[in-house]
Structure 1
Amino acid sequence: MLFSLGDFSGLDHNHGGQYGAFEELIESFVRTLRDCKISPYVVLDGGTDPSDKKLETVTQRILRRIRKAHQAAVEGKNENILPPLTTMVFKQSLARLEVPVAQCFGEADQEIAALANKLGCPVLSDDSDFFIFDLSAGLLPIKHFSWTEVTQRGSQRYIPCRSYRTSSFSICFSISCKMLPTLAVLAGNDYVKLHRMGTPISWGEFTPAGSETWRSLEGLLCWLKDFQEPGDALQAAVGLMEGLSPQKKAEVLESLFQGMEEYRLPPSSLHVFFTKGTARLTRDVLDVLQMQRMSLSIHVEHKDTPSANLTSRPLRQVMYGLLLGGGSPLVVQERDRVGLQLTSTPVQPAALPERRQVLLEALKVDEASLNCLWDHLRLLVAVTCFWLQNAKPTPDEKLLKALLLGLNLRADRNICSRPKLDLMEAHAFNQWQACMKDAIQLNQLLGCPLAEPQLAGLYEGPVVHELVHRMKTTGRLKAILKSDSSSQRQYRTLLTAVHRIQSQRMSKKKDPGADPKSLRRQRPLDDLTVNLQQLFLHDDEAAAEVKSAITAQEDLLLVEHLSVPTRYRTKDRVNRSKNPELVRKQEARGWHIL
């Protein structure tokens, strides 16, 4: 369902994602279901099957995504490469909407089918395996589920759709329902590739006489009509594979029987444990625990740029240390692209300090630097600072400002004109998303010591790219900020906080033994950014802008200055009143923050 909604949406995937619009799409979908008296239950896939029987299939899919992502970056076409935070937005949205969600440890198909039969409800999916499972209430293919075209009869609302049942299929093609798993393994599925096991079978020759074309699947269906038992059909199929040794035929037959087991439904376990909020561990975490392997996200970027995932590798190493033990002899194989190829790189888990400091030390920030921020902004600021320090090439000030300003302009879709994709800008923002994704997974693994931000409000890709474009072509963005004073204030608060942390890092490099608190006290209250140049402004509009910027800085430093004796503040007010022009010039130093 996640991929179907993402493909259906028509949203811009190439500029890093329109998460706010995607969240609205999920809300609309769930609201439509509930308006029609439908209660959805969502079951998600977990990690990779430990047997690796789908490894070849998964690898080929990743390679296709790598090629499509490069093509999307070069040509600008939408190749449906889902942005890296899409799954997290999906989970957060379902949790907020109180939709029951469960996540399996491995493939979810069998559990979904078993749960559907237990509840007596249909399955909504486009996965071809559900055409084989014997589902008591049938299958609703998503591509025929017209949820945007609701009809009404009396007081009841309906969603036009098509329902598929194995019994109808069996009647149509005159084969027994129990032969459908045999059809699946002989036709080839994610687990069994018969044409790669030996001499391929030309099923097309079994099509009825007079057929204009030889269609492989139709020929296989005609051939299966003569069998009533799956075992007999499999034995006969192996017999059609000429030139195989008896040992090879036995191996092929065993693989076919193993493939059949994928369609045997176990008793449902999910109906007992199906509660809200169970989908906490991501499939990445499960893969690290079970397989010591992680397949990283594919971003829309040029093949000649390094993978954006390299930037956040230090965060993943900390996560590996938590999962496998710091200093563990085990390594995690990271599957990521190099050029257009998929490679596997061994990565050593990091040795860890005390767990409560793990997240902050991984992000290279101290707790005091974040205490002056609202809870929901702390992880965002920490990740952004980590990105500035680790991204290659280092993001410039325009990219930082566009990113932070874009966080406050999610609802303003008029800003977005979808400029042509700038590959270097896209690479920089891809690295930020990779850092955010891995930081959130690490934060979840630690029990969320920092509040988890709502991702749908974090990043609106086309808006951020448009802001960079405007800064390059028209200069400042003050006209955009004028319309919303709260956004203006939060933007300046975020930018000031990031600059302060970056300034402290630079000071620490120059003087590693310095106390962080003393470093913060070295900055005058009115200084808004690092190395500000004094500007002289004299118009009322400039004064108003500066006042807003100063207010944001005062908010950040309020806690630190509460202990200043009153007599010093009184003296400061007296000095300021004696020379208002000097004060005006000092305050004007904050203007170029835009």
Structure 2
Amino acid sequence: MEVSNLQKMIDDLCLYEEVKVEKTGVIIDGAALYYSLYYTSDPKLDQRCGGDYPGFKDEVCNFFKTLQDCEVTPYVFLDGGSDPDKRKTLVSRRKDTEEKAKTIAMTKPEDAVPKGCNVLPPLVKDVFIEILQEKDIMFEQCLGEADPVIVSAANQNQCAVLSIDKDFYIFEVHKGFLHLDNFEWKSKEDGKFPAKLYTRSKFCEHFKLDPALMPVFASIAGNDYSKLQDRGRFARESSSSGEYSIKRLDGMLSFLSKVNLDGLNDSQKRERALSEALKHARKKENQTFKLAIRKYVQPEKPSSKLPSWVRKKVEIGKLTTSVISVVDQKSMMPPVLVEDFSQRSSYTAAYRIRQYFYGLLTKDVQALLPDLSSDEQKKLQLRCLHKAPEGLRRRMFEEALQVQTSALENIPDQLKLPVCVTVLWFNNLKVGQKAETVLHTLLLWFVCDPNSPEDEFERKMKALKDEGVSNWQPQPHVAKAFSQWQRCMRQSLHLNQLLCSPLPEPQCARLYCGPLLHRLADEDTIEEVQKTLRGEKKELYENLTTVCSPPSGEGSSQSSRVEVPSTEMESSSGEWKTKEKKKRGGKKNKSQKKK
């Protein structure tokens, strides 16, 4: 809900302190960190080809290694469900992200993507959490928005907050706010590195503003909840020489500093200041401004209808936060994809998996597996799903992906889940004669292991990654196929988590590397790389090929497939809304009618 242009004002006025970071603790806004690290990496990480997760892992590990070297102890907090009160803002923001995704998708390899045009690949958060767990870094995934939890933890532990969220200019953070743009961790020298520390007290001192009025300033300046349409009144009264947006903020701060607050407590001060500001702008009092102020002053601790075992798994990063949106808000807004927007969304490839995910959360198990006994169906209810027999949970996963996990006997544990996803994806793939080329590209990637002794195969794969696609145009059908695979992979990861991991969790950072896969997806290149396979890698590749390639004559028309009842609608905003089925005995839906 950050105030736009506030950072520029602070930078222009130098309302910060130059510091050297060392031997301290820091509270980190996890979402802000992984966004920043992905977008500001050097060299820049791929967005056009679906992402570069191994490259992202290197960047994140380097960041935390630097903190360790400087004796800085990180505490990371991640967002959970979004605030329902700012749904309109989220929808608007999503449309803006979609436009950026279209721009990235249409930008030619030889051209630079416009500055600020960034879209995060879909598995970045999963990779980030995996790294936190591997490095034993203290973190918590919140059930709602993380801001109030971050402020509380920062003040309790007497630490500064590290983020890019300008809300932390407004909140009362005792030890100050470190903006990631000025957190120069790559400039480490002698066990410390430079940063700029902002404190609310210094800001208020400069503008002669009572600190209690900072939430009022944020509510009228404009954030995710409110914005005062003042028709330029505040800007015209400003003495600032800056641009209009800066003049407007300066005028508001000057006005608020002159409101008579004598004899009032903090709550009364905010009430009077808001009333005077609205009167000055010739606006009637609006509850949205009071709501925005309350979000800063008395942020509500999110509640959830989720069972305690589910909440616990969310908090420790063992379960996706999308379960919160589905159960508590009956909707979910999935990440925006960089893809060809003239074609059908790649999310449709994961539709079936999503139905099972929703079904488990909305008590629709009977429609998914009608042949189960009533006792088995009760065991798959969300409240007791974690206690269900592994065989039953595995069966649910197999039904969702239309696979038999017994066929994975010769596949390493780390590849079992990705192989299941690949089988489902390939059986439904519709890219003509190039389907097997795309399949074998993925299988060669599965075999690749940068941590193994370097051989001719690994050298060839590394050369292809380094070559990348900077001067090469990805083929549209290949890009579409990889995009569909990633959607299936992401949804399968989360379904497996919800089912308490009937299959081993794979290493997310090893799941996909866009520049390498797109460069490899050429029949001649694949054949050249295949010839370099030797020993165990060749045997693994052959086993993968056997499992993932269906027998002749089989494909997307397999008669054994079960139709899944619809539990999902997609709105024009890109938000998916779930709805529970009518009780049995009511009208059959289309998928239950005669087939």
| 2:72 pairs with 1:24 | no
Contact 1:45 1:104 in 2 (8 A): yes
Offset at 1:483? 6.6
| 2:272 pairs with 1:232 | yes
| 2:213 pairs with 1:179 | yes
> Which residue in 2 is equivalent to 1:45?
79
Offset at 1:482? 1.8
| 2:475 pairs with 1:422 | yes
Q: For the residues of structure 1 that align with 2:430 and 2:442, how far apart are their CA atoms?
A: 16
- Please, which runs of 5 or more residues in structure 2 have no aligned partner? 1-32, 262-268, 303-310, 368-381, 383-387, 451-460, 562-595
2:508 is aligned with what amino acid? L
Tell me the secondary structure at the aligned position of residue 262 of structure 1: helix
> Which residue in 1 is equivalent to 2:403?
365
Deviates further, 205-214 or 277-286: 205-214
Q: For the residues of structure 1 that align with 2:312 and 2:360, how far apart are their CA atoms?
A: 27
Are residues 233 and 385 of structure 1, via their aligned partners in 2, closer, same or farther at CA, if it must alter by over 3 Å?
A: same
Tell me the secondary structure at the aligned position of residue 73 of structure 2: coil
Are residues 275 and 391 of structure 1, via their aligned partners in 2, closer, same or farther at CA, if it must alter by over 3 Å?
A: closer
Q: For the residues of structure 1 that align with 2:423 and 2:243, how far apart are their CA atoms?
A: 65
Aligned counterparts, 1:212-251, within 5 A: 215-227=247-259, 228=261, 229-242=269-282, 249-250=284-285
Q: For the residues of structure 1 that align with 2:558 and 2:39, how far apart are their CA atoms?
A: 50
Are residues 46 and 275 of structure 1, via their aligned partners in 2, closer, same or farther at CA, if it must alter by over 3 Å?
A: closer
1:293-340 C-alpha deviation (Å, 9 max, x unpaired): 1112222112101111111011111011111101699xxxxxxxxxxx
Q: For the residues of structure 2 that align with 1:110 and 1:464, how far apart are their CA atoms?
A: 41
Are residues 73 and 119 of structure 1, via their aligned partners in 2, closer, same or farther at CA, if it must alter by over 3 Å?
A: same
Are residues 124 and 173 of structure 1, via their aligned partners in 2, closer, same or farther at CA, if it must alter by over 3 Å?
A: same
1:457-504 C-alpha deviation (Å, 9 max, x unpaired): 1211111111113x2xx35534465276444333232122212xx229
> Which residue in 1 is equivalent to 2:515?
462
| Of 486, 495, 498, the match for 2:548 | 498
Aligned counterparts, 1:465-476, within 5 A: 465-469=518-522, 471=523, 474=524, 476=526
Q: For the residues of structure 1 that align with 2:516 and 2:122, how far apart are their CA atoms?
A: 17
Contact 2:314 2:320 in 1 (8 A): no
Deviates further, 8-17 or 484-493: 484-493
> Which residue in 2 is equivalent to 1:63?
95
Q: For the residues of structure 2 that align with 1:209 and 1:96, how far apart are their CA atoms?
A: 50
Tell me the secondary structure at the aligned position of residue 77 of structure 2: strand
Q: For the residues of structure 1 that align with 2:221 and 2:333, how far apart are their CA atoms?
A: 28
Q: For the residues of structure 1 that align with 2:556 and 2:479, how far apart are their CA atoms?
A: 31
1:528-581 C-alpha deviation (Å, 9 max, x unpaired): xxxxxxxxxxxxxxxxxxxxxxxxxxxxxxxxxxxxxxxxxxxxxxxxxxxxxx
Are residues 363 and 276 of structure 1, via their aligned partners in 2, closer, same or farther at CA, if it must alter by over 3 Å?
A: closer
1:397-445 C-alpha deviation (Å, 9 max, x unpaired): 1000111112334644321321223222111101000000000000000
Contact 1:114 1:267 in 2 (8 A): no
| Of 221, 239, 254, the match for 1:208 | 239
Please, what TM-score do these two structures have when normalized by structure 1?
0.73
Are residues 211 and 41 of structure 1, via their aligned partners in 2, closer, same or farther at CA, if it must alter by over 3 Å?
A: closer
> Which residue in 1 is equivalent to 2:156?
118
Are residues 365 and 135 of structure 1, via their aligned partners in 2, closer, same or farther at CA, if it must alter by over 3 Å?
A: same
Q: For the residues of structure 1 that align with 2:82 and 2:525, how far apart are their CA atoms?
A: 49
Are residues 487 and 146 of structure 1, via their aligned partners in 2, closer, same or farther at CA, if it must alter by over 3 Å?
A: farther
Contact 2:313 2:319 in 1 (8 A): no
Identity %: 31
Q: How many matched pairs?
A: 468
- Please, which runs of 5 or more residues in structure 1 have no aligned partner? 330-348, 514-594
> Which residue in 1 is equivalent to 2:319?
281
Tell me the secondary structure at the aligned position of residue 372 of structure 1: coil
Higher Cα radius of gyration: 1
C-alpha RMSD of matched pairs (Å): 3.0
Aligned counterparts, 1:133-212, within 5 A: 133-152=171-190, 157-195=191-229, 200=231, 202-208=233-239
Are residues 189 and 377 of structure 1, via their aligned partners in 2, closer, same or farther at CA, if it must alter by over 3 Å?
A: same
Q: For the residues of structure 1 that align with 2:252 and 2:503, how far apart are their CA atoms?
A: 57
Are residues 389 and 200 of structure 1, via their aligned partners in 2, closer, same or farther at CA, if it must alter by over 3 Å?
A: farther
Offset at 1:56? 1.4
Tell me the secondary structure at the aligned position of residue 53 of structure 1: helix
Tell me the secondary structure at the aligned position of residue 151 of structure 1: coil
Aligned counterparts, 1:254-265, within 5 A: 254-264=287-297
Contact 1:43 1:101 in 2 (8 A): yes
Please, what TM-score do these two structures have when normalized by structure 2?
0.73
| Of 462, 466, 471, the match for 1:413 | 462
Greater length-normalized contact order (CA 8 Å, ≥ 6 residues apart): 2
